[in-house]
Amino acid sequence: MRVVLQGMESCTVSALSCFIAFCLLVCLIGFIFADADVTLLWASLTGQRPERKLKGLVVWITGASSGIGEELAYQLAKCGSHLILSARREDELHRVKRHCLETSELKDEDILVLPLDLLERRSHETKTKTVIGYFGHIDILINNGGRSQRSLFLETSVDVCQALMELNFLGTVSLTKQVLPHMTQRGRGSIVTVSSLFGLTAAPLATGASASKHALQGFFNSLRTELTDYPKILISTVCPGPIQSQIAKNAFTAEINKPPPTVGHLKRMPTDRCVRLMLVGISNGVKEMWISQQPMLLLYYAWQYAPTFAWSVSDSLGRKWVQNFQAGRDADSANLTKQKTS
């Protein structure tokens, strides 16, 4: 009898070990093909659908004339959200609006084109009142406006650093300052801010931009803790890695008006996939979203859980990045992502 029980115990342990090994293998394979953090991917599989959650909501998008902001407008229009499209280029905003109307069931009055310059902070109160006067309320503010950087700090004017902080950080904070009281009065709403991989990690050629994104992370993380009495107000930050957009072409360089160098043809996440994940996160109340293809996603986790290892990787990549940049070659060739071959 004892021999039989021992045999059964041995079989049970073996079966359990195999099951655990199988689960670990499945998790490993899943992580290899993952393009977002575990919480966000889980929400995409089991959470609420944006088409149901966001239908009829009033969403204000900054930086809506191109890139992530433009794609947000298209997907939100298909979800049935009412939109405020803001950026500096009014003609581009009207182009985006026309496409939204052509590809969705929205009517002309469901989309408000509202030109906005984040640097003109004195105008933000008036712009906010215009939105509330038009739609009656604001359900979601998506802070997407901003610029990147592509220059070495030793060669960069402090004016560039100031411009990045004024635009990316203070401009975003200023608009949030105008919209948030409206949301606290209503007791609900969402403020979603597009940060960056640079807001969580370190990267060469982007000291000023990285500082502005780190500032956004610190500000909104702190703000979230101040709003615990408003459980229906979501403060969410989005940290995308390399995405197919125009942001690199509009980056600051060593001087304010100097055009950026040519950007390499990297394998970047499609903008529509990034935005879809963002909308899933907003619909399910995800407070921080990491969105990137591998192996950049692995770097997020390394910085979070193994910073010593992350520093060694960043130092090695940074050295190659800087060397290529100084030699006039494509700095992105030192990136972790693969280059396309023509």
Q: Are 143 and 62 in contact (CB under 8 A)?
A: yes
Where exactly are the structural domains of the chain?
Answer: 34-327
* 3-state class (DSSP) for residue 178: helix
pLDDT at residue number 266: 57
pLDDT mean values, one per 10 residues, the chain (342 residues): 57 70 62 86 96 97 96 98 97 98 97 97 98 98 94 93 96 98 98 93 90 97 97 97 78 81 68 97 97 89 90 86 78 50 38
Task: List strand residue ranges (DSSP E) for the chain, in order.
Answer: 58-62, 82-86, 111-113, 140-143, 189-194, 233-240, 288-291
Q: What is the pTM of this model?
A: 0.89
Instruction: For the sheet with 82-86, list strands across it.
Output: 111-113, 82-86, 58-62, 140-143, 189-194, 233-240, 288-291
pLDDT at residue number 1: 57
pLDDT at residue number 84: 98
Residues in the chain: 342
Dihedral of CA atoms 242, 210, 75, 271 in degrees, nearest 10, equals -10
pLDDT at residue number 295: 85
pLDDT at residue number 91: 97
Measure the CA–CA gap between 44 and 41, rounded to whole angstroms. Answer: 5
DSSP state of 168: I
Q: Are 62 and 116 in contact (CB under 8 A)?
A: yes
CATH class, domain 34-327, is alpha beta
Cross-strand pairs, 141: 60, 191
Q: Are 175 and 141 in contact (CB under 8 A)?
A: yes
